[in-house]
Amino acid sequence: MSTLNELIEQVENPELKARIRTEVARLSKQKKFGLVFEEHLPECTPLYEIPVKKGATVALKAGKANETYTVLCIDDGMATCERQDNHEHAQFSVADLVCVAKFGEAIYPYLKPIDSVCNAPDSSLWHALIEADNYHALQLLVYLYGGMVDCIYIDPPYNTGAKDWKYNNDYVDSNDSYRHSKWLSMMQKRLKLAKQLLNTKDSVLIVTIDEKEYLHLGCLLEEMFPEARIQMVSSVINPGGASRFNAFNRTNEFIYFVMFGNAAPMALPLNDEWKGNIKGGSRDTLRWRELRRASTNARRIDRPNLFYPIYLSNDGSRILGCGESPSFSDDYKKWKSPYENSIIIFPIRPNGEEGNWQLSQVKLMEMYKKGFVKIGNYRSENTAFSYLAEGEREKIEKGLFPIIGRKEDGSIIVDDSNYQAKFIPGTQWWIGSHDATQQGSKIINNIVGRGRFDFPKSLYAVHDTIRFFVANKPNALIVDFFAGSGTTLHAVNLLNAEDGGNRRCIMVTNNEVSADESKEFLAKGIHPGDDEWNAKGIARYVTWPRTVCSIEGHDVNGKPLQGKYLGSDLEMSAGFKANAAFFHLGFLDKNAVAIGRQFKELLPLLWMKAGAIGPCPKLPMNKPLPEYIILPENRFAVLIDENAFHPFSKELAKAPEIDVAYIVTDSERGYRQMISKLNIETTFQLYRDYLDNFRINKAR
C-alpha cells in the first residue's frame, strides 16, 4: 500500500489521481481474516566495511538505507551515481556513501574480534556479543546453531512513537502512518529466523512488549507459531506509574511465552514477593489432606466400598483398626467394635449425609503405621482424620522433610526449617525486584554511568523470567537478538552463579547512537562507521562495557561495584566466573572465500560453530597459513591443505578432546574418504558448507 501511494503521487493528471485514490481506498477496506500488514520490502543494511567501488549499490550515510544508487564511476573522490528507482544521476563524495545490501541478496558473513573478557581462565564457557543488524546476525546463528537453542528472550522496540527504532536507517515516529505495519514487517522477518533456531522438542521464545503493540504481536505470534502453546503474563515494572495523556498511568508491560514441545514453566522456590502470585496459594510445609472425601464422588453411593468404620481408642490417641464396608441393608448405626475401650467412626458429612473415605482399609492402616495418617482433635464419633497424599509422601522420601520424631497418635514430626516450597506463579506479576527503575536504571547507572542508556529491564525481571524455563537446564543455550544494555547476559551469569550452571548466552545488538547524538555528529561531519560514531554506539558504549564490568565486578572507572545481588550472598564486586567475546559482524567476498584467501577471517565463525569452547583462537595475519591446525582447548581442528591429511590424521588421533573437524577440499568424494578415516563425531566440508549450505539472505 505504501508503494501504491508513492506511485499515485507521481500521476500528473489530478482527475486520474483522485479516481485512483478512491479505488485504492475502497480496496483497502476489504479485509482478510487474520493479521494484515504491509511487507515493506526491501529492507536494507548498510555495509560500512565494504569499500565503495564502481558498480556497487550504495546509499547516503546520512540518508535512508533503501534510497539506493548504483555507482557508475569514481573520479578524484567523487562518485557519479544513478538512483535505482527513478534512474536520475547525481554526484556525491565517496566519503558520504556506504555500500548497502537488500534483504534477499547473498551475503557472506564473518566475525571480526573486537575485545574479550576472561574472568574464568579454567572454564570452557564463553558467552558472545555480536555487533550487527540482528537480521543478518540471526541468519548467521541459524547456520551455527539451527534447532539447538533452548531459550530466546527478546525485548524489541515498543514502537511508542518516540524515536526508539529505525526502519531502513530512518527513525519511525508517531507521524508515520505505516509505523505499525513497518514494526510488524520488521518483527516477522526476524521471528521467522528465530523459529529456525529453537529446539522444537523443548524450547521457549519470550517476548516483552507494552500496550502499543501487544495486540498486533499476539496475533503475529499466533499466526507464525500455530504449533506452540502461547501464554501472556502482565508484569508490573513501574509501580509508581508512567503518565499517559488522557489515559490511565502505565505500570505494567506484557510478556509472551511461546512454548514448543515439552517446554513448560517449572515450579520454583519463590520468595515472599510471589506469595500473591502463587498458583494454589503458599504452602511452605507438608500439606495434610482430610481423610473424609469432600469434593466429587463424596457420597456413600459413589464409593460404597469406601464407606467403612474406623475404630479409634476412647482417648482418641490411636487407630485400632478398620472394619468391612456394610451393605446398604445393614444398619451401620448399630455396628459393634471388635476392640474394647474404643469408638466407631464412619465418614458422615457435616450435614449428616453418608460419605466415604479417601483411602481403602488396607491403604489406611499401611500409611498409619508409617506415620502418614494424623488424628485430629478428639470429638468422639466426629473426630476427624488427615493423611499425606502421594506428592507430600514423595517429599518425605526425597529427604526434603527429615523425620525427627512422632506424635502421640503415631503421625510423623518433620523438620521443615530448611524446606523451600516450589510454585508456578499466576499471570499477574507484581514483584518489587522487577521495578525497572530500582533494579534496572540504577544498576546500569552504577556500572556505566548516567545518561548512556534509557529504560533498561530490571536484572531480576529477566533473571526470573528465564529461570522458569532453564532452571533444570544447566547447559542451556540462550539467545537475545535485541540485547540493548546487555541485561540478558548479566542475568544468565547471575543464574549460573546461583546454581553452578554452565548456561551460555549469545547477544546481538546494533551500534546505533541516540537521535540527539546522531544529529550532533552529522552536524560535525561525523557519519555512521566513523570511529567517533562507533565509540558512542550502544554495543561499544553500553552493552560491552556492562558485560565486562559485571563479569569483573567494577564500574567503567575501575571502582568495585557496591552491594549484593538480591536474594543471595553474591557480592557484586566479586563479579562472575565467566568469559565473553565481542565481535563485529562483517561480510566477505564470495570469490575470495572460495579460493581460501579469507580463512583467518572465518576462524572465529568456525570456533562458534564448534561450540565456542575456550578462548577464540587467532592466527597471525602476516604469516602464511599452516597446513592444518589442531586446537584441543577449543575441541576442533581444521585441515587447510588436503595434501597434509596423513600427518593431520596422526596428530588428531593424539587429541581425543577434539569433537569437530573441518576439512578444506573441493572434492565431495575426497571429503567422504577423509572423514571415514577419522574418529570424529562432527565434520564439515569447507568451503562448500559455508558457500552452499549457508546462504545469508536466501530463504530457507
What are the cell numbers at 602?
A: 572465518
Query: According to the model, what pLDDT value does residue 38 have?
Result: 63
What are the cell numbers at 25?
A: 481506498
Tell me the one-letter amino acid at 40: H
* CA 238 to the chain's CA centroid: 22
Residues of the chain with CATH 3.40.50.150: 108-277+425-582
Question: What CA–CA distance (Å, rounded) separates 402 from 414?
Answer: 5
Query: According to the model, what pLDDT value does residue 526 have?
Result: 87
> Topology of domain 108-277+425-582, per CATH?
Rossmann fold (3.40.50)
Strand partners, 44: 102
What are the cell numbers at 392?
A: 507430600
Question: What number is the average pLDDT over the span 192-198?
Answer: 96
Flag the least confident range among 158-172, 496-510, 647-661, 671-685: 158-172
Beta strand ranges found along 263-309 (DSSP E)? 268-269, 288-290
Secondary-structure breakdown of the chain: helix, strand, coil percentages, each rounded to the nearest 5: 30, 25, 45
pTM as predicted: 0.81
Instruction: Write the pLDDT tens digit of every residue in 101-155.
Output: 877 677 788 999 999 999 999 999 999 999 998 998 999 999 999 999 999 999 9
> How far is CA 586 from each of CA 140, 415, 492, 583, rounded to the nearest angstrom?
11, 59, 27, 9
* Antiparallel, parallel or unpaired: β 44-47 and 636-639: unpaired
Number of Cβ atoms within 10 Å of the Cβ of 330:
11
Q: In percent, how much of the chain has pLDDT > 90? A: 66
Q: Are 473 and 446 in contact (CB under 8 A)?
A: no
Domain 43-103 has CATH 2.30.30.30: yes
Flag the least confident range among 400-404, 460-464, 577-581: 400-404
Query: According to the model, what pLDDT value does residue 547 have?
Result: 98
Cis before 620? omega within 30? no
Residues of the chain with CATH 2.30.30.30: 43-103
Q: Are 372 and 387 in contact (CB under 8 A)?
A: yes
Res. 280 pLDDT band, cuts 50 70 90: very low
Res. 595 pLDDT band, cuts 50 70 90: low
